[in-house]
Chain A
Amino acid sequence: MNQDFILGRLSEIMGWDTDRSRQEFDWLRLMSRMKYDGYQDFLAGMRFIESLADWIQQFSPAEREAAYGLIRGSLVYISTSEMNHLVELFYPETVQWRLQNAVAARLGIPPYRVWAAEEPSKLYRKLLRQTLFVELSDGARIDVFRRANAGTISNEQVVTAPRINREKWDDLLDDLRAEDKSARFSSIFLIDDFIASGTTLLRKEGDKWKGKLARFWKEVQEVLPTHFESGWTLNVHHYIGTHRAQRVVQERQKAALTEHGEGSWFNSVEFSFGIVLPEGTPIDAGSHPDFVALTNRYYDDTIETKHMKLGGHDARLGFGSCALPLILEHNTPNNSVALLWAETLGGEDKHAMRPLFRRRQRHV
């Protein structure tokens, strides 16, 4: 669609005068070109500005400024290049530093001395080879991770499925032992793109611990004595995490360990994040009173599937009431405010929700 035409329409819908239109057109052109047009789930023939014009029309004229204000002032959009950058930073900023410290601890030297002599450097290379990188979902961008670290991390160290069967474990060990007959794995990095509430990673349902971490604990039991060194370490890395998730996962890990006892749960899990969204990122009635009012007025609870209900509340502020104004280029997280992504048919006095960034549902 002709962008200038739709900008003119948007100006009418918003009731902007010429000055405001000029300023907003500048911003909209820039942001759509630099970022928002790259969103992968726009409909054919529609890009950001068309989608925005369509989205904003669902609100009454008096409410539109509040809706636009959220997009203009608070939306956090992570583009592919930004996400790839976080992937590229994972090894030098997290993996290398962890292993360097591990080498320093084993040899009793300060970390900065690791590169100064042959022995610690050799041990670093050995520990690096004894490390496995396992993706927890297809958001882990494991292809980008591989390319970014070609020549540093072997393909045989990277596992592209969160569930690993016995045969695969044996293959991984065989590959490791091609160089050193007695070697075992010394650390694992579980990788995922995004964590908001921590529920998917680790949660307690009734008296049972569930989630990806609990599942991984079960699966790894079989091979722990044979494939891993004693004192091996588990690291969980997310490229993006919320402030809340950073706190919650630590608390849940601690609780799970206390409940299970040593030997029946991971003794320690190191959590790391490429970037942590600041504490003030989620919206609330204090920071965005008008927009929160919209989320109440324009909510259709038919979006609440059984998976959404795991979050514990209704979904108007997103899964787990995370209230995030966050969009990831490949898909909008369900932890984001529902008005941004939800699409419903409405009816029975319920508002038909129109998405700005249509979300591809993984759980139907």
Chain B
Amino acid sequence: MENPFLKRASEYLRDDEAFLAVVSPEPVTFFLRGRGQAGTLYDRLLFMQGTPGSGKTTLARLFEYPTLTALLRNRSSSGYQSLAGALVECGGIVDDRPAVIGCRLTMETDYRDFWEFPYNETLKIGLLTTFVQARAVLAWFRHLASEGVSASRIRIVPRSDAETAVDAIGGPDAEGVLARAREVEAAAYEIVGALIAPREEDLSPAVTGAYRPFDVIDRIEVVPQNDATSPLSLLPLVILDDANVLHPSQFRALQHWLARRELRIARWMIARFDILLPQEALNAVTEDRAEADFPGLTAGRDIEIVLLQSSGPRREQRTAFRRMAKDMAGRYLQKHSLLGPRRLIVLSDLLSDQEESISPSALREYGEMVNAAQRRLRVTDSRREEFEKEVDSFRSGGRAVPPDVRLAMLMVLLHRYDRRRKKVATLFETDPEPSRPIAANSDVHEAAKLHLLHRYNRPFYFGIDDLCDSSSENAELFLQLSAVLVETVATQVIRSKGPQLSAGTQSRLLRQRAEWIINKWSFPYFQEVRQLVTWIGKRCVEVTQEPNGWLTPNSYGISQEEFENLAKNYPDLARVLQFAVAYNAILLVPNYKQGSKIWCLLELGGMVNLAHGLSLRRGGFLEGEAEALAALLEERPS
């Protein structure tokens, strides 16, 4: 029995149909539709940034020509219709025909090697851009050939002002362009594959001469085999994937080169945050715009930035992610060899959302603790009755709360009352009124459930929404968490038990899995990141456990001003924070207004919340200072 949830990376799905079967249209719609309709997807450099597993390569691969054609071939199938619709909205498909011819070049291969050569920087960048262009041209031709289009049926349409430069790329006919691209690629490959760098004067003119197909090509036309159809006009799109593996200087030069406005072809760069300087990376997720280093280049007007992780409209993102995750889970479950054929393909149906109460003996014990607290705090019976009525009238999801939560809420209210009443009762006043009304609301409910989690290990994380919310809006994390749940569902089916997982099982498995994931971290600065989030997590737990439940935090707030100067004042902390953000350990929530201050919240990622037993609700934070975090990092990570 294969568990498809364990195979997340889209690169592992070689076959286009297999790839399309597991892709959800939601991220396409959420991240790209607006930009596609505004035209900014194709007329300027699109810079897609995200954490590993945020779906960068999946989005890129969708726009590759073979994927688009495979999608169109299967568009009558119900599983593909929504995806095809999303691509129509993004302008990738027009009139049931592909509108772009995308090729994805992964920078993981030999592109970085140019940087190691003993040439001057201009030459090294020139060699890189030449190599990229030759490979892109070859990829476009290869994609068309895979669809049965020979070079003789391809017409390269040059920019109107670049007709004289056509000769330099082997034009005007397509066979010439293809031959020239092969010649340039072979010459460039000889350099990059050489054991010892050739002398500069020995470099082939094929790579040092003028070869700028990106400057020349406007469209690629496919001549139909018969007169019944019109020519297919395609916008060339080059996608440079994993650009973070390039040398930072290469990366910036390539970015500058691709951001030029006169280019007609569409060009996308995809990278993790690792490549950026700490302040840039932090700005990227807080401002959603990166400042460019090169004069005359304005991020925003020249570069369209797509940030594939939580930022901006957070409520909207969480809702969109839930939609996407549920859709994706359904697609993966269909492919599960045991659950698919049994039509157990709706993940939310497999995850019970029925609360599980603590044991009767624990309930008795807790009841006595509440009585003791009432006596200790000198709360009158009538006041307690009032609170009990308040709790009884509270509804969670339209339902009354179970007895254990009722007791825990009462406990919270007793302590809140104690805080809010006059401290010294007068001789005639044994039951003073609180300074503010005591209400049983959703905050009290959340605090009560967390108290029960920490005291009695009462299941807290269960149901599909908790699963989605604990994934930090990251598809890979969602699948990693889901994998263990799905595996357990399958095990129950094999053991002839019902497929649905109880709340207790879900909560326990999710927390174990989160701890396992954190223990397996191996990204740059992971020890410091672990030290940082553990410290914040423990402090949040301490506050969460306070009996009046005044706060259920999962974030650490520093002032926005302090955050903006972080890279200057605390460069080591900024670097650690960059990688914490880049690998989903922390999410940044900038410009968060609380009282008269503006904060930047360092919100713990879902795995940390699960591992420490913290609320998944947003907004609760501990007020702090960057200095405390910087001092913490000076200690040796354990």
Residues of A near any B CB (own CB < 8 A): 3-5, 7-8, 11-12, 18-19, 21-22, 25-26, 29
Contacts and interface: CB of A to CB of B under 8 A. Distances in A.
B1 A4 contact: yes
Contacts of B431: none
A3 B1 contact: yes
Contacts of A26: 487
A22 B497 CA distance: 13
Interface range for B = 10 to 19
Nearest to A12: B495
Interface in B510-537: none
B252 to A, nearest CB: 45
A4 B495 CA distance: 9
Interface string B467-493: 000000000000000001001100111
B494 interface: yes
A22 B1 contact: no
Contact of B505 (A11, A18, A25): A18
Contact of A11 (B338, B488, B495): B495
Contacts of A19: 488
B1 A18 contact: no
Given A4-B338, A8-B496, A21 B1 contact: no
B1 A8 contact: no
Contacts of B493: 4
Given A3-B1, A4-B1, A4-B338, A18 B497 contact: yes
Minimum-distance CB pairs A-B, first 10? A22-B491, A8-B494, A21-B491, A4-B494, A11-B495, A8-B495, A7-B494, A22-B488, A18-B491, A22-B487
A11 B1 contact: no
Contact of B492 (A5, A12, A18, A29): A18
Contact of B491 (A3, A5, A12, A25): A25
A25 B1 CA distance: 10
A5 B493 CA distance: 10
A20 to B, nearest CB: 9
Contacts of A18: 488, 491-492, 495, 497, 505
Nearest to B492: A18
Contacts of B496: 8
A22 B489 CA distance: 9
A293 B496 CA distance: 34
B494 A21 contact: yes
Nearest to B2: A29
Nearest to A4: B494
Interface of B: 1, 338, 484, 487-488, 491-497, 505
A48 to B, nearest CB: 15
A26 B497 CA distance: 18
Nearest to B493: A4
Contacts of A4: 1, 338, 493-494
B584 to A, nearest CB: 25
28 contacts: A4-B338, A4-B493, A4-B494, A5-B494, A7-B494, A8-B494, A8-B495, A8-B496, A11-B491, A11-B494, A11-B495, A12-B495, A18-B488, A18-B491, A18-B495, A18-B497, A18-B505, A19-B488, A21-B491, A21-B494, A21-B495, A22-B484, A22-B487, A22-B488, A25-B491, A25-B494, A26-B487, A29-B1
Nearest to A11: B495
A3 B338 CA distance: 11
Nearest to B338: A4
Find the residue from A21, A22, A26 having the highest chain B CB count within 10 A: A22
B5 to A, nearest CB: 13
A8 B338 CA distance: 13
Given A11-B491, A25-B491, A26-B487, 12 more contacts: A4-B493, A5-B494, A8-B494, A11-B495, A18-B488, A18-B497, A18-B505, A21-B494, A22-B487, A22-B488, A25-B494, A29-B1
Nearest to A21: B491
A198 B1 CA distance: 43
Contacts of A21: 491, 494-495
Nearest to A17: B495
Contacts of A11: 491, 494-495
B3 to A, nearest CB: 9
Contacts of B1: 3-4, 29
Find the residue from B488, B495, B497 having the highest chain A CB count within 10 A: B495
Contacts of B505: 18
Contacts of A8: 494-496
Contacts of B491: 11, 18, 21-22, 25
A11 B492 CA distance: 10
Nearest to B491: A22
A184 to B, nearest CB: 45
A157 to B, nearest CB: 37
Nearest to B3: A26
Nearest to B502: A18
A90 to B, nearest CB: 32
A3 B490 CA distance: 13
Contacts of A3: 1
Contacts of B497: 18
A251 to B, nearest CB: 48
Contacts of B495: 8, 11-12, 18, 21
A235 to B, nearest CB: 39
A4 B505 CA distance: 22
Nearest to A3: B1
A228 to B, nearest CB: 47
Contacts of B492: 18
B506 to A, nearest CB: 12
A86 to B, nearest CB: 31
A25 B338 CA distance: 14
Contacts of A25: 491, 494
Find the residue from A7, A8, A18 having the highest chain B CB count within 10 A: A18
Nearest to A22: B491
Contacts of B484: 22
Nearest to B487: A22
A26 B483 CA distance: 12
A26 B484 CA distance: 11
B20 to A, nearest CB: 27
A4 B339 CA distance: 12
Contacts of A12: 495
A21 B491 CA distance: 7
Nearest to A16: B495
A351 B588 CA distance: 68
A25 B505 CA distance: 18
A12 B497 CA distance: 12
Contacts of A7: 494
A275 B484 CA distance: 38
B474 to A, nearest CB: 24
B501 to A, nearest CB: 9
Contacts of B338: 4
B612 to A, nearest CB: 22
A178 to B, nearest CB: 41
A7 B488 CA distance: 14
A19 B491 CA distance: 8
B340 to A, nearest CB: 13
A18 B495 CA distance: 8
A22 B483 CA distance: 12
Contacts of B494: 4-5, 7-8, 11, 21, 25
A299 to B, nearest CB: 33
Nearest to A8: B494
A21 B505 CA distance: 14
Nearest to B497: A18
Contacts of A22: 484, 487-488, 491
B330 to A, nearest CB: 22
Contacts of B487: 22, 26
A5 B1 CA distance: 11
A100 B484 CA distance: 54
A8 B497 CA distance: 10
B503 to A, nearest CB: 14
A49 to B, nearest CB: 12
A29 B487 CA distance: 13
A19 B488 CA distance: 7
